[in-house]
Amino acid sequence: MSRTVAFIGLGHMGGPMAAGLVKSGHRVLGHDLDAAALDSAAAAGVVPAESAAGAVAAADVVLTMLPAGRHVLGLYDDILTAARPGTLFVDCSTIDVADARTAHQRAAASGMRALDAPVSGGVVGAEAATLTFMAGGGGEEFAEARPLLEAMGKKAVHCGGAGAGQAAKICNNMILGVSMIAVSEAFVLGERLGLSHQALYDVASTASGQCWALSVNCPVPGPVPTSPANRDYRPGFAAALMAKDLGLAANAVRAGGVNAELGLRAAELYASYAERAGNTEDFSGIVRTIREHDGGQP
Does 31 engage in binding with ligand NAD (CB under 6 A)? yes
**Nearer of residues 210 and 279 to ligand NAD, judged by Cβ:** 279
Q: Catalytic: 169?
A: yes
Residues β-bridged to residue 61? 5, 88
| Residue 75 burial by Cβ neighbours in a 10 Å radius (0-12, 13-18, 19+) | buried
Among 13, 63, 240, 243, which residue sits at the site for ligand NAD (rule: CB under 6 A)? 13
- Of 2-10, 80-88, 171-179, 190-198, which segment contacts ligand NAD by CB under 6 A? 2-10
Helix, strand, coil content of the chain in percent (nearest 5): 55, 15, 30
Burial (CB count within 10 angstroms: exposed 0-12, middle 13-18, buried 19+), residue 279: exposed
CB of 27 to ligand NAD, least distance (A): 19
DSSP β-ladder status, 131-137 and 4-8: unpaired
Q: Is 8 in the site for ligand NAD (CB under 6 A)?
A: yes
Q: Would you count residue 122 as binding ligand NAD (CB under 6 A)?
A: yes
**Cβ of residue 36: shortest distance to ligand NAD, in angstroms?**
9
Q: Does 37 bind ligand NAD (CB under 6 A)?
A: yes
Q: Of 177, 162, 25, which Cα lies nearest the Cα of 95?
A: 162
Annotate each residue in 98-117 with x if it binds ligand NAD (CB under 6 A) or - if it does not, as one string. --------------------
Contact pattern for ligand NAD over residues 161 through 200, marking x by CB under 6 A: ----------------------------------------
* Catalytic residue from among 23, 154, 155, 169: 169
The one segment of 28-36, 221-229, 260-268, 285-293 that binds ligand NAD by CB under 6 A = 28-36
C-alpha closest to that of 233 among 176, 296, 184, 297 = 184
CA distance 216 to 210: 10
| Main-chain phi, psi angles of 231, to 5 degrees | -130, 45
Name the residue among 272, 270, 3 with its Cα closest to residue 146.
Answer: 3
The contact set with ligand NAD (CB under 6 A) reads 8-14, 31-34, 37, 52, 65-67, 71, 75, 93-94, 119, 122-123, 241, 244
Q: Which residues are marked as active site?
A: 169
